[in-house]
């Protein structure tokens, strides 16, 4: 896993944001958070960052979209840029 981090460690692209009362949110119209499986190394950093039970990591990460509040914590913590809005 350490080798995968070295090879791939790069921040994920942060989507265009709109300012909100509690925090800035991505503009999600026609976009949703997803995982690029080829970049996910199963480290669970995203899981530890998520406060809304919106992620499952069983080998690879999966997003439970109905729980996701678009807080961006996971995306900012993911060391490989595997979490993206598209
Ligand atoms: S954006 Fe926030 S709520 Fe959604 S999966 Fe990531 S950490 Fe969890
Ligand atoms: S999505 Fe990123 S932080 Fe989450 S398990 Fe995969 S590599 Fe780790």
Residues 14-72 have pLDDT tens digits of 777 778 777 777 776 778 999 999 999 999 999 999 999 999 999 999 999 999 998 88
Atom 4 of ligand 1, residue of closest alpha carbon: 68
Q: Residue 46 C-alpha to ligand 1 middle, in angstroms? A: 8
Let me know if 8 is exposed, middle or buried by CB neighbors in 10 A (0-12, 13-18, 19+): middle
Cα separation, 80 vs 45, in Å, equals 10
The domains of the chain, with CATH numbers, are: 2-85 (3.30.70.20)
- pLDDT band, residue 8 (cuts 50/70/90): low
Mutate which of 23, 71, 83 for ligand 1? The one with the most ligand atoms within 8 Å of its CB, which is 71
């Amino acid at each position: 896993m350490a080798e995968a981090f070295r090879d791939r460690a790069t921040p994920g692209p942060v989507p265009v944001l709109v300012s909100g009362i509690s925090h800035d949110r991505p503009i999600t119209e026609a976009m949703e958070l997803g995982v690029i499986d080829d970049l996910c190394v199963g480290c669970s950093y995203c899981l530890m960052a998520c406060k809304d039970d919106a992620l499952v990591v069983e080998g690879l990460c999966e997003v439970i979209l109905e729980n996701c509040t678009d807080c961006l914590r996971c995306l900012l913590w993911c060391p490989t840029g595997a979490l993206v809005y598209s």
